[in-house]
Structure 1
């Protein structure tokens, strides 16, 4: 049964093909809720405290909430292995995918999850990629599917990983206007990601490096 991470971030859409195919530097390029206006307080009424639009509650384990909006989802097709250490690493690897998607969806690189699940050279890659994406004014909508997820422990604090990403159900849209820029390509070949995880002092398996192979025959 597929494991789903849904996104519920009202005024913004999702990141998809753009999000992680672009991350490797040579990948493929990655609706329309109206943003509510700002109400100006009158002289007869005092301004109300504005509600925090971001998720404020954290899970009991202290991990940041990830919120991707109503128009996109990451779907993880694989079952967990039953090995608690490997499964924890796989869960944090999925956190890497979702954190990047959230940053793309919101056009913000200061989201807590980004630096929670990603560090080192991988974080530099993601930030550089997102600067370009934000400058282009693009985002995506649809469903990205992940499968063949594999984590191999190197030692107690490091591991290698690989997974495949299917973005055939992803369309590219303009972030501001929500106009369709490129339709989903039902014939698009999947991408293969490989990389390295390291366990930090908080017990999080952070993605510290990764590579992307577009149109991978290995998937």
Structure 2
């Protein structure tokens, strides 16, 4: 079983209002663009406000330590807006924390649970458990790009972004060998998440969906 192909799509299929991905993909087909609209953040009208906290508040963040053969490129330019840039930063830590849990073979690792709750945390646990069951981890290089953040009226945030997994592979902890797979359009993944600012000033991911092979993320 290829856990990389599973990606984080198993985390949740929770549907919320649409947020389209801006400046992503080169296909001009209106049909394709419509298909690549993904769930974003609800406008939050009529909802209770989220807990008051500053994105810059000090929090006792877990230290993220990853294998030296796993590297990341986050092509997420700063927006110049404090809240949006904090969403980008904490989402990056969440992504790394999940991979750290996989490397350490711990489905209940405190690091990813620091950055997630709800269905996102539950789905991450399931995803990590698959790697533990097969005694695999991730190696290679992962690239994230085409980020789009929206801060909603209720204080939550919607975040859409792409991942290129073509140079990331499963590595067996038993043999030390990597399962190098061919490049494929299915290795381009479109993600959509909803985040909430907690009392510690951390943007935690509550819901996450993904679409593998999305034309919006393909070069």
- Is 1:25 aligned to residue 10 of structure 2? yes
Q: Which has the higher contact order (CA 8 A, sep 6+)?
A: 2
What SS does the aligned partner of 2:68 have? coil
Q: What does the per-residue CA deviation read over 1:37-86, in whole Å, with 9 as the maximum and x for residues that have no partner? A: xxxxxxxxxxxxxxxxxxxxxxx752111001111012101211111111
Q: Pick from 115, 118, 121: which aligns with 2:119?
A: 121
Within a 5 Å distance, the mapping from 1:101-140 to structure 2 comes to 101-140=99-138
Where in structure 1 are there 5+ consecutive unaligned residues? 1-16, 27-59
Q: What does the per-residue CA deviation read over 1:77-128, in whole Å, with 9 as the maximum and x for residues that have no partner? A: 1211111111011111111111111111111134332111111110000111
Structure 1 residues 96 and 191, CA gap change in structure 2 (3 angstroms): same
| Structure with bigger gyration radius | 1
Q: Alpha carbon RMSD of aligned pairs, Å? A: 2.1
Question: Aligned pairs, how many?
Answer: 169
Within a 5 Å distance, the mapping from 1:164-179 to structure 2 comes to 164-179=162-177
Q: Pick from 74, 92, 95: which aligns with 1:94?
A: 92
Where in structure 2 are there 5+ consecutive unaligned residues? 12-57
Q: What is the TM-score of this pair, normalised by structure 1?
A: 0.71
In the alignment, the residues of structure 2 paired with residue 145 and residue 173 of structure 1 have an alpha-carbon distance, to the nearest angstrom, of 18
Q: What is the TM-score of this pair, normalised by structure 2?
A: 0.71
In the alignment, the residues of structure 2 paired with residue 75 and residue 97 of structure 1 have an alpha-carbon distance, to the nearest angstrom, of 12
Tell me if the contact between 1:151 and 1:159 (Cα under 8 Å) persists in the aligned partners. Answer: yes
Tell me if the contact between 1:140 and 1:172 (Cα under 8 Å) persists in the aligned partners. Answer: yes
